[in-house]
Structure 1
Amino acid sequence: MSAGSTPAEYAELGRRMAELSDLHSIGGLLAWDRSTMMPRGGADHRGHQAATLESLAHAQLTHPRLGQLLDALEPWASGLDPDSDEARTVAVIRRDFEKAVRVPDSLAAEMARAESTGEQAWMAARAAGGDFGRFRDALARHLELRHAYVGCFDGYAHPYDVLLDDYEQGLRIADLRPLLDELQAALVPLVAAADPAHDGDPRVLTGTFPADRQRSAMLDLLTRLGFDDTAWRLDASPHPFAAAQSTRDVRITTLFDEADLAVTLYSALHEFGHGLYESQVEPAYARTPLGDLVSLGLHESQSRLWENVIGHSRPFCAWLAPQLKQAFPSALAALDADALYRGINAVEPSLIRIFADETTYNLHIVLRTELEARLMEGALEVDDLPTAWNDGMQRLLGVEVPDDAHGVLQDIHWAVGSFGYFPTYTIGNLMASQLWEALRRDIVDVDDHLERGELVPIREWLRENVHRHGRRYAPRELLQRVTGEPLRVEPFVTYLSDKLVDVGAVASRSGPPR
């Protein structure tokens, strides 16, 4: 097989991967429907559908013929430019194949089935005012399945490493803990130094905001940012999320809070960042492994960049405030850009992660990471999880948890078995700061663009440098290519400290509160 011609085996590999991509897209569509449209009574049947689809997809990915094709193609691919799409594709499929063949089909199907029943148990527990007992058995089942999954793999120093690697390629708890320790050491004194007397009012966007008018306002805003109503849709869900079936079928949700517009607004910006990433992947990668997401950390860097780095910036607030006043002239009659900027950046330890300010947010992730690692180690039992949660919230954020709905039941992730996902939010925050530094070097007048609501240069920079590559580069490799440096804590802490100085919450990056 010569390196100068594309072998027939590569075409066969492509056909098989296209079919697998279709199965995953169908599964994603069913999951979207489960969270937005499906009646609660459909959970059991949806679980069976998900299990059937996962069995088909797992069989496709673990088929012996796929291994034969990879064995035949790897000598050919080794003679290609290692950056070529063909070489990258073969390497990505080999990684996926080697992980999948270790997992029995029955286990993969059962994990998929448990997502549906777990989500419905979680929703019932929340609807009952935070009754953890209604969710306890579903959570225990998820953990049982995750322990069985971890047991399929050798060569990992810690059981949590297997789960981390699924969401962030190469991430290990031995690397994650020092990163979180460094971040926590910087954030705790920063939170303590923030003076509430000089913060803005975090309730700056509270009032009365009918859901239908919120939806209209969000569609107008998102369209200015890049939302395309021929390829995107916006829906409501209890926990906001994004789900793209292709670059031309992007579905995002938000939570329409009629008393606090900030909840709706920043959830929508967050999910827009996810959707924009999916919509700007190279079209030629459709139905190939290179068209998939490369890591949740990089994905979250895009959502956090739009929600926080852009959405909470002074120049963006200068453009946004008049848009919000026009949409809600009665509720926001007194709003101005400075009040908006200071209010949304106020430091206020709180109960709910998705509503947390930028300064305290990562402490929520530190807690969830600690708890997940202990659950996987066997050092924490399911029945003790609510107490461990409440103790951690007091220790890290100094807040008392009134009930489990505002505590251990607040996130959907454990309901669908997504253990190992939470750390990617912090990875994403760190990446976002580093990517923004690189973007500012290339677009020196970016603040002027933000003040005018001109987002095209930012979208195009992200498309060219990050989005279009899909899964072509491993996450840390892409970060190094774009920024010239590895993952670091310091740029995020500097960015955050400088913002708090600008807001007036602290006197200097190292000084006492003002």
Structure 2
Amino acid sequence: MTDFDRLSAEINDLLCILNVLNWDARTQMPPGGSAARAQQAATLSGVAQEKLLSPAYEQAARAALAADPADRAAQQALNAAAALRRVPAALTRDLAALKGEAQDVWAGAKAASDFARFAPYLQRMVQLSRDLAGALGYEDHPYDALLNLYEPGLSTATLRPLFARLRAHHVPLLRAVMARPAPRSDFLTRSYPAAAQRAFCLQLAQAFGYDLTRGRLDASAHPFEISFTRQDVRITTRYQEHFLPGALFGTLHETGHALYEQGVAPELSRTALTSDLLGLYAVGGASFGTHESQSRLWENRVGRARAFWDLHFPALQAHFPEQLADVSAEEFHRAVNRVQPSLIRVEADELTYDLHVMLRADLEAQLINGELSVQDLPAAWNARVKADLGLDVPDDARGVLQDIHWSTGYFGSFPTYTVGNVMAAQFYRAAHSALPQLGAQLAAGNYAPLRAWLTEHLYRHGRTFTPHELLVRTTGSGLDPQPYLDYLTEKFTGLYALEAHA
């Protein structure tokens, strides 16, 4: 093991330990531990940054690059160090400490539907995020510096035309769908005991290939996936006893993330190619958008397909025989694909989901740029929901407080959900072209060929390639929304008989 490999492994270990603390804070930790945990996280983040910026690590990386000019791990380490040298160590520690405290305050504020309780922490988080953007540097918009933490190459200049194209497609299609009769969905809000939900969710996660010898499923206020190397990849979901789709599709979504992390090549473990050194995260994927492409692919392209429910609905009925006695597989499939503007992003249908993302991206860009104050955020949020979705926001819990992201300082991450939707369609189309029998395999519940193809072309590479490089290598083009628009048009035109209606 070279000095560069050894030091990279130590940095990765620190980031994985930080992830363990974050997982515990969001699943097991008693409320009283939040302040101490915030300080622990700040200390670990500071130590990791010190190691990354140490002369010894730079020398080791340069030696590795001299020995092999194609060493991407060494080049990424040098690039990350160059960027982080512009970030004061005190700012890194302050952000880490605030995240720990703010998450706990956010959870309490959401439970009480009280934005005022969270507002001072959000104000501080916005200011620190502005400071971070200024330290990292940008040309056109401070939001660009934060976007690049999660999606290298993304900017407000590239994001705005993408959003405009999606909106021009989604809104007319949404209006056409809403003019048609809605499918029956009353059975989705019957009483579904959480224990039975968990059993079925685990069954589906394992069917997709989630390895429980290297993972586990827990409950949390906001579903998430987190990894401590490929050997320990954990997911959570949120059980609502009177809304079955929430935990169900939340689990499929996080399973997609987990398959990515469990599929990273073993030889990349504890290297700079399984750590986001610039963002100081232990995450193996090329970017947040690439990661999100896999959660959306498995959740939607596979998990919401008619063939999926033709196969799995009998097992779901067996778990809930009374609740689903009067429901067919076709009715269930139509219900879980129902288009209906709603307040909650994580429960949104595929057609309105991007509108939720655009709302958040626009507002957080305004917060970072100083165009919008934290005090005015709830009113701005409510106005956008009314304009985009036609809904009145009844309270903060179902409005501006619903997402955990701002309490964790993830400014710039929301657009990656829509980028992930676009990428998912491109990757799925490429997989379908490469695997002529894919439709029949999925209909039979054989998910191994798709998972193996994705592992070979995406998962195993970790952070070896940029998102753009992965797209070009795998699909032949850069980010292209057309396959995604084609998919949505075909799906909802069929489900709602729009051609016949026209």
Superimposed CA distance per residue, residues 274-304 of structure 1 (whole angstroms, 9 cap, x where no aligned partner): 0110000001100001123220000000000
Residue 29 (str. 1) matches residue 29 (str. 2): no
Residue of structure 2 in register with 1:475 after alignment: 467
Q: How does 1:399-438 map to 2 (within 5 A)?
A: 399-438=391-430
Residue of structure 2 in register with 1:110 after alignment: 94
Residue 487 (str. 1) matches residue 479 (str. 2): yes
Superimposed CA distance per residue, residues 303-336 of structure 1 (whole angstroms, 9 cap, x where no aligned partner): 0011111111121121121121121111111222
| Separation (CA, whole Å) in 2 of partners of 1:435 and 1:202 | 31
RMSD of aligned C-alpha atoms?
1.4
Q: How does 1:67-466 map to 2 (within 5 A)?
A: 67-78=58-69, 82=70, 87-128=71-112, 130-195=113-178, 197-291=180-274, 292-466=284-458
Contact 1:161 1:172 in 2 (8 A): yes
Matched position secondary structure for 1:278:
helix
Comparing 223-232 and 426-435, the one that deviates more:
223-232
Superimposed CA distance per residue, residues 445-504 of structure 1 (whole angstroms, 9 cap, x where no aligned partner): 222222221111111111111101111110111011100111111111110110012212
User: Given residue 152 of structure 2, which amino acid in structure 1 is its aligned partner?
Assistant: Q
Contact 2:204 2:252 in 1 (8 A): no
Contact 2:187 2:323 in 1 (8 A): no
Q: How does 1:32-47 map to 2 (within 5 A)?
A: 32-47=23-38
User: Given residue 39 of structure 1, which amino acid in structure 2 is its aligned partner?
Assistant: P
Contact 2:357 2:418 in 1 (8 A): yes
Residue 55 (str. 1) matches residue 46 (str. 2): yes
Deviation at 1:228, TM superposition (A): 2.3
User: Given residue 506 of structure 1, which amino acid in structure 2 is its aligned partner?
Assistant: L
| Separation (CA, whole Å) in 2 of partners of 1:106 and 1:458 | 45
Identity between Structure 1 and Structure 2 (%) = 43
User: Given residue 333 of structure 2, which amino acid in structure 1 is its aligned partner?
Assistant: Y
Residue of structure 2 in register with 1:3 after alignment: none
Deviation at 1:233, TM superposition (A): 0.4
Contact 1:353 1:361 in 2 (8 A): yes
User: Given residue 133 of structure 1, which amino acid in structure 2 is its aligned partner?
Assistant: A
Deviation at 1:90, TM superposition (A): 1.6
Question: Structure 1 residues 444, 337: closer, same or farther in 2, change over 3 A?
Answer: farther
User: Given residue 15 of structure 1, which amino acid in structure 2 is its aligned partner?
Assistant: R
Deviation at 1:149, TM superposition (A): 0.9
Matched position secondary structure for 2:98:
helix
User: Given residue 331 of structure 1, which amino acid in structure 2 is its aligned partner?
Assistant: Q
Deviation at 1:355, TM superposition (A): 0.3
Deviation at 1:74, TM superposition (A): 3.4
**Residue 10 of structure 2, aligned match among 2, 19, 25:** 19
Q: Structure 1: which 5+ residue stretches go unaligned?
A: 1-9
Deviation at 1:34, TM superposition (A): 0.3
| Separation (CA, whole Å) in 2 of partners of 1:197 and 1:44 | 52
Deviation at 1:199, TM superposition (A): 3.6
Deviation at 1:196, TM superposition (A): 5.5
Deviation at 1:155, TM superposition (A): 4.2
Deviation at 1:118, TM superposition (A): 0.6
Deviation at 1:359, TM superposition (A): 0.3
User: Given residue 380 of structure 2, which amino acid in structure 1 is its aligned partner?
Assistant: A
Contact 2:137 2:145 in 1 (8 A): no
Contact 1:196 1:346 in 2 (8 A): no
TM-score relative to the length of structure 2: 0.96
